[in-house]
């Protein structure tokens, strides 16, 4: 889908929340086990530490915690859209369990899998439900336990990925108001699916022929190039559709894959380095949780304030990528 603007009701951000497991995994801890170093990881990725779930903790737990924070004490929603590629089970989806835990009753609830772009895809899906009158308030969550997909012996992926959850509450509102999302720009390129790939565990090869086939393999350099090019291209498309100039953007919240990817993309767009919002040093790449967690952290530390014009852009396995814009609202 190239940039599409809804002519109907807008989806407006009305709440935000994040969730991280308590367990911190430092670069030094990884370097004690694998052939790498704190210095290599910091200079190549910008990551100092990431979080990992405790035994028994999983995607549903992080999604519930982030969702509860976004809903607020008296919040309610009539739909839950969960972006994840690490659902607790292959079947069913995890979103209905999240809705039940949050006491939302029998609301519509389902998962969206667009890997690291999942949150932008889920926002667009929720905005469509609101525009079409199918829902008034949608809880959009991004949650992933990527440490379950990473080969603990693979130094090319272990340092990069961490676990987390993030969420926003969307309500029906007016297209011009603060917090209104859109337009959206969404794309995919399945020809390049194997750049980030998990061979086994799905219907094509349920039981791994080789035990390592249940882990993700990544062509790091090719992914790096694709991520920069696609996020820049999509950002330009969505800005053009919105009628905004690059110079109008106060905060650039890109998928937290690698600080060098974020900086290179911002540079390609001609955006100042201080517009780049990043928490990657503390959380690593949390896949679908990355953008809402970065937003939640930026609100908490005062980097993102009401009135800021924000560009959200993501890239992930699939390949998938996409962007949207909003003016940050007052949140109670
Ligand atoms: N510690 C030390 N050396 C490592 C290493 C590690 N953790 N991981 C890889 N290396 C080695 C490589 O084996 C390679 O060695 P070689 O030259 O002998 O083959 C060397 O470092 C350089 O690897 P290269 O892949 O060229 O480094 P890079 O500058 O591209 O950085 C990544 C590697 C993975 C950090 C980078 O490619 C990247 O961030 N890619 C995108 C990943 C991503 O964002 N994925 C998710 C997308 S949603």
Q: What CATH number did the domain enclosing 260 receive?
A: 3.40.47.10
The secondary structure of 123-177, three-state, reads HHHHHHHHHCCCCCEEEEEEEEEHHHCCCCCCCCCCCCECEEEEEEEEEEECCCC
Mutate which of 47, 228, 258 for ligand 1 pocket (most atoms within 8 A of beta carbon): 258
Q: How far apart are CA 330 and CA 332, in angstroms?
A: 7
C-alpha of residue 220 to centroid of ligand 1, in Å: 6
Both 156 and 221 in a single domain? no
pLDDT in tens, 197-207: 999 999 999 99
2 pLDDT above the threshold of 80: no
Same domain, 190 and 155: no
Q: 194 in ligand 1 pocket by Cβ < 6 Å?
A: no
Inform me whether the pLDDT recorded for 5 exceeds 80: no
Identify whether residues 207 and 313 lie together within a single domain: yes
Residue 148 zone, left/alpha/beta (φ > 0; ψ -120 to 50; rest): alpha
In a domain, 190, yes or no: yes
Pocket test for ligand 1, best of 220, 256, 291 (most atoms within 8 A of CB): 220
- 297 within some domain: yes
User: What is the per-residue DSSP string for 34-81?
Assistant: SS--HHHHHHHH--SEEEEPPTT--HHHHHHHHHHHHH-TT---SEEE
- Looking at residues 306-313, what average pLDDT do you find? 98
State if pTM tops 0.75.
yes
pLDDT confidence bin for 18, thresholds 50/70/90: very high
- Residue 1 in any domain: the answer is no
Share of the chain above pLDDT 90, in %: 96
- φ, ψ of residue 259 in degrees (nearest 5): -60, -30
Range of the domain at 106: 10-173
Q: Which of 242, 264, 246 is closest to 254 using CA atoms? A: 264
Q: Could you tell me the two tokens for 281?
A: 């040093």
Question: Per-residue confidence at 249, pLDDT binned at 50, 70, 90?
Answer: very high
Same domain for 164 and 274?
no
pLDDT band with cut points at 50, 70 and 90 for residue 7: low
Residues 211 and 321 both lie in one domain: yes
Residue bearing tokens 């911190």: 24
Q: Is 257 in the pocket of ligand 1 (CB under 6 A)?
A: yes
pLDDT at 155: 97
Dist CA 78 CA 299 (whole Å): 25
135 & 190 share domain? no
| Ligand 1 neighbourhood includes 219 CB (under 6 angstroms) | no
Output the DSSP codes for 200-233: SSSTTSSS-SSGGGGSEEE-HHHHHHHHHHHHHH
Q: Are residues 149 and 107 in the same domain?
A: yes
Average pLDDT over residues 150-172: 98
Regarding whether 162 and 298 lie in a shared domain, the answer is no
For residue 44, the ligand 1 atom closest to its alpha carbon is 35
110 shares a domain with 57:
yes
Residue 16 resides in a domain: yes
Do residue 152 and residue 16 come from a single domain?
A: yes
Q: How far apart are CA 147 and CA 157, in angstroms?
A: 10
- Residue 139 lies inside a defined structural domain of this protein: yes
Q: Are 135 and 79 in contact (CB under 8 A)?
A: yes
Q: Quote the tokens at residue 121.
A: 């895809």
Confidence category of residue 8, pLDDT binned at 50, 70, 90: confident
Q: Is 156 in the pocket of ligand 1 (CB under 6 A)?
A: yes
Q: What is the pLDDT of residues 276-309, one digit of tens each?
A: 999 999 999 999 999 999 999 999 999 999 999 9
Tell whether ligand 1 has an atom less than 6 A from the beta carbon of residue 36.
yes
List, edge to edge, every strand of the sheet that includes 79-83.
Answer: 10-19, 163-173, 137-145, 79-83, 108-112
CA distance 142 to 69: 13
Q: How many domains does the chain have?
A: 2
Answer for the pair 195, 223: CB distance below 8 angstroms, yes or no. Answer: yes
Domain boundary among 115, 138, 173: 173
28 and 158 assigned to the same domain: yes
Is residue 332 very low, low, confident or very high in pLDDT (cuts 50, 70, 90)?
Answer: confident
Question: For position 75, what pLDDT does the model report?
Answer: 85
Amino acid 37: pLDDT:
98
Establish if 227 belongs to a structural domain.
yes
Q: Of 172, 138, 118, nearest to 285 (Cα)?
A: 118
- Residue 232: both structure tokens together: 């820049």
pLDDT tens digit sequence for 48-90: 999 999 999 999 999 999 999 999 988 899 999 999 999 999 9
Which residue numbers are catalytic? Answer: 116, 255, 285
Could you give the CA distance from residue 290 to residue 141 in angstroms, rounded to a whole number?
Answer: 11
Do 237 and 122 fall into the same domain?
Answer: no
CB 286 within 8 A of CB 309: no
């Amino acid at each position: 889908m190239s940039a599409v603007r809804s002519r109907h009701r807008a989806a407006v951000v009305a709440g935000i929340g994040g969730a991280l497991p308590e367990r911190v995994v430092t670069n030094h801890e990884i370097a004690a086990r694998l052939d790498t170093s704190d210095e290599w990881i910091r200079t190549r990725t910008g990551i100092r530490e990431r979080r990992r779930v405790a035994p028994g903790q999983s995607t549903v737990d992080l999604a519930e915690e982030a969702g509860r924070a976004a809903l607020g004490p008296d919040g309610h929603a009539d739909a839950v859209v969960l972006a994840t590629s690490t659902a607790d089970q292959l079947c069913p989806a995890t979103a209905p369990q999240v809705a039940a835990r949050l006491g939302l009753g029998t609301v519509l609830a389902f998962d969206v899998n667009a890997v690291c772009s999942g949150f932008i895809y889920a926002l667009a899906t929720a905005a469509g439900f609101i525009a079409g009158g199918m829902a008034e308030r949608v809880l959009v969550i991004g949650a992933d336990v990527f440490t379950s997909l990473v080969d603990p012996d693979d130094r090319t992926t272990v340092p990069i990925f961490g676990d987390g959850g993030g969420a926003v509450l969307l309500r029906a509102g007016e297209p011009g108001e603060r917090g209104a999302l859109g337009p959206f720009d969404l794309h995919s390129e399945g020809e390049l699916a194997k750049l980030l790939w998990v061979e086994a565990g799905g219907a094509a090869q349920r039981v791994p022929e080789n035990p390592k086939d249940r882990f993700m393999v990544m062509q790091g350099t090719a992914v790096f190039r694709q991520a920069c090019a696609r996020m820049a291209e999509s950002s330009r498309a969505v800005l053009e559709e919105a009628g905004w100039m690059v110079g109008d953007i106060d905060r650039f919240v890109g998928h937290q894959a690698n600080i060098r990817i974020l900086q290179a993309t911002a540079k390609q767009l001609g955006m100042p380095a201080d517009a780049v919002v990043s928490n990657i040093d503390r959380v690593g790449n949390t896949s679908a949780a990355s953008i809402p967690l970065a937003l939640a952290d930026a609100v908490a530390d005062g980097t993102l304030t009401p009135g800021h014009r924000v560009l959200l852009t993501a890239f992930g396995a699939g390949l998938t990528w996409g962007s949207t814009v909003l003016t940050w609202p007052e949140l109670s």
